[in-house]
Amino acid sequence: MYFAALLARTEDGWKASDTELDDVETLSDLADLARESSPEEDTVLVLIEQEDAWFGVVRVDGEEDPRIYVSDAAAAARSAYGELLLTDELLGREPGAADGPDLDELDLDGTEDGESEADDDGDEEGGTGDAVPHSPVGDSEILDDLGIGEKELRTLDAEDALGSIAEALGASEVLETVR
């Protein structure tokens, strides 16, 4: 189960709308969806949470590149919606790098040198265990100017993070209308 909402900052305060991400295939699609919700090029926050395991915030300010924060990259990586947010840049990978291990470097039959090394790293399925950290990734200062500092954002529990963010923004009532 996931929940996704758009919070658009307007002259009259925050406006919320729930959104379906089924037709969103890329981060660019998500940013376009956010921009469409605010014709005045105001700040739009895309808030996503999945099964109380992780949450993400995407901030779109006009035509600027989206800024992203994900509370637990490894948990998000197991979700189609999380994969939208986990760009190569966000994960510190070379853009366009292949997902997963280089097949030329894998010991697929277990008969080559290095077998014991693979046994030592047995918890890394296919060598990708370190590719996505079990920690927050992205711009932890994404909400600083809106009253939620880096330390506060990093300490939010995925179970109630979106409610806490909305409360700090003064938008909890409008968010609850779309929940």
**How does pLDDT run across 76-97, given as a tens digit for each residue?**
999 988 999 998 889 888 776 5
Could you tell me which residue, 170 or 96, shows the higher pLDDT?
170
How many Å apart are CA 63 and CA 32, to the nearest integer?
Answer: 9
Looking up tokens 């209308």 gives: 177
At residue 179, the pLDDT reads 84
In this prediction the pTM is: 0.80
Question: pLDDT-based confidence at 98, cuts 50/70/90?
Answer: low
For 50-54, 92-96, 101-105, 163-167, which range has the lowest pLDDT when averaged over its residues? Answer: 101-105
Q: Which two tokens stand for residue 93?
A: 């990978």
At residue 60, what are phi and psi to the nearest 5 degrees?
-120, 120
How many Å apart are CA 156 and CA 115, to the nearest integer?
Answer: 41
How many Å apart are CA 90 and CA 73, to the nearest integer?
Answer: 10
pLDDT digits (tens, 9 = 90+) for 26-76: 999 999 999 998 878 889 999 999 988 999 999 999 999 999 999 999 999
